[in-house]
Amino acid sequence: MTQFVIAGAGIAGLASAIWLTRQGHQVSVYEQVPDPTPVGAGLLLQPSGQAMLHKMGLLEAVREKAAVVHSLEGYTGNWKTLDLHYQFGQADWHGLGIHRANLHQILWQCAQSLGVAIHLGNGIKEFSQTSHGVKIEHQQGTVQADGLIIANGTRSSLRDQLDISQTHQPYPWGAFWAVLDSADWPFPHTLMQRYRGANHMLGVLPTGINPASGKICYSLFWSLPKTSFADFREAGMPQLIASIRTIWPEVAEWLALAPETAIAIAEYADIRLSRYHQQNVVVLGDAAHAMSPQLGQGANMALIDAMVLADCVAQGVAQCVAPSEPEKIERYNHNTQGAPDKSSLASAFASYSQRRRKHIAYYQMASRIMTPLYQSHYPLGWLRDIGTVAGRHLPMMYRQYLLTLCGAKQGIFDTKAAIADL
């Protein structure tokens, strides 16, 4: 039985714990905060992320808490520029808007039901690799493991302890988020966005069930440069509402009718690693590849990371193949008792790095290209609008937009973007 320690009880950490425990391994999760329930608002699960949840047997539980999203629309004034409909990519495709806390709770409950040991308020401080595996120092002592999985988010200090070339570049822009209940918002299945140039963006995402109220809710996001955060904090809700009113009056009134609504501030960063492992240590989720939220892929990529890692560990060899054959998928849904030795575990982590390289690189590149078009002071809004409008009228380009949105492309020339190939 292989012993894994996971740093972080977020989406990537819990999903990895579920997969590896089902394979028969011993898994312990160490989380620094006493209550890891996410703050913030909603996220959009793309078809790729949904496929991972289906393999985990958790998709139906997620659906019960989520809102089905059929399309994405964006407007500059009254001009519809962005108009993406999932069904034109594949007939059964759609997005699922869900509150982060609901997705986290579903993963948490599954991990607990499997007996995963989760240590709250007890983060990992440092580690060292030895001939016996990995020696790990946490806040309350020391533990020895065969493998360490770093999944503790963008600000991970553990990532910096690896001898891996890496960059960590904070974005100068962030966002205000709020969750508002509504039974009569006219776009229950559409992610709506309004733009003014590249420096103003407001969106409304259907988010399913509000975990606090139990009602149907929506997530509002208002993009701002981080230098503006202090001014808005000082001016308070009235100034935020006044600014939003110039872009989207209906949303401003909606927010004005809920003065007690909590506003969360999100900051983002670009994380790039030359590889995602070093011997018996591997990095997953935002700790490995955080990026701008423009493509909405964070949770999806974390779920893919966890599945691919579990597949590589299950095979225990240096070369992994995609889980496209029915018998392989069937294997994922049953416990396996294989326990790779230290060298094969290191090979499995190396295989994980190789297998995830193209997919992560594509979305980091796409994010780097798109972000200035949506969040910057550069006069690029017109370029974004022309590009999205042109894409609507060019079938080949439109399909590539949709394949990128689905979360499965592994390169510019990956024109099929099959989820089974991840």
- DSSP helix/strand/coil, 183: coil
- Beta-carbon contacts of 414 under 8 Å, excluding residues fewer than 6 positions away, are 358, 362, 403
The answer, yes or no, to whether residue 328 has pLDDT greater than 90, is no
What confidence score (pLDDT) does residue 114 get? 97
For residue 336, count other CB atoms closer than 10 A to its CB.
Answer: 15
Higher pLDDT, 262 or 300: 300
In a domain, 195, yes or no: no
Rounded to the nearest angstrom, the gap between the alpha carbon of residue 408 and the centroid of all alpha carbons in its chain is 13
In a domain, 25, yes or no: yes
pTM, full prediction: 0.92
Higher pLDDT, 239 or 72: 72
pLDDT tens figures, 97-113:
999 999 999 999 999 99
What confidence score (pLDDT) does residue 327 get? 46
The answer, yes or no, to whether residue 337 has pLDDT greater than 90, is no
Residue whose C-alpha is closest to residue 176's, from 219, 125, 132: 219
What confidence score (pLDDT) does residue 415 get? 86
Q: How confident is the model at residue 340 (pLDDT cuts 50, 70, 90)?
A: low
Outline where DSSP puts E strands in 251-364. 264-273, 277-278, 281-283
Q: How many structural domains compose the chain?
A: 1
Which backbone phi and psi does 175 adopt, to 5 degrees?
A: -155, 150
Tell me which H or E stretch contains 395: helix 395-406
In a domain, 221, yes or no: no
pLDDT more than 70, % of the chain: 94
In a domain, 236, yes or no: no
What confidence score (pLDDT) does residue 341 get? 61
Rounded to the nearest angstrom, the gap between the alpha carbon of residue 322 and the centroid of all alpha carbons in its chain is 21
Mean pLDDT of 77-85: 95
Are residues 367 and 409 in contact, defined by beta-carbon separation less than 8 angstroms?
no
The answer, yes or no, to whether residue 43 has pLDDT greater than 80, is yes
The answer, yes or no, to whether residue 24 has pLDDT greater than 60, is yes
Are residues 317 and 351 in contact, defined by beta-carbon separation less than 8 angstroms?
yes
Domain limits for position 358: 3-169+268-421
Pairwise CA distance, residues 289 & 24, whole Å: 28
What confidence score (pLDDT) does residue 342 get? 62
How does the average pLDDT of the chain come out, rounded? 91
What confidence score (pLDDT) does residue 332 get? 37
In a domain, 186, yes or no: no
pLDDT tens figures, 303-316:
999 999 999 999 87
pLDDT tens figures, 233-273:
888 888 889 999 999 999 999 999 987 788 888 899 999 99
Q: How confident is the model at residue 63 (pLDDT cuts 50, 70, 90)?
A: very high
pLDDT tens figures, 109-139:
999 999 999 999 999 999 999 888 999 999 9
Mean pLDDT of 74-96: 95
Mean pLDDT of 170-195: 95
Buried b (16+ CB within 10 A) or exposed e, 370-386: bbbbbbbeeebbeebbe
**Looking at this protein, which amino acid is placed at residue 235?**
A
What confidence score (pLDDT) does residue 39 get? 74
**The CATH number of the domain where 69 resides is what?**
3.50.50.60
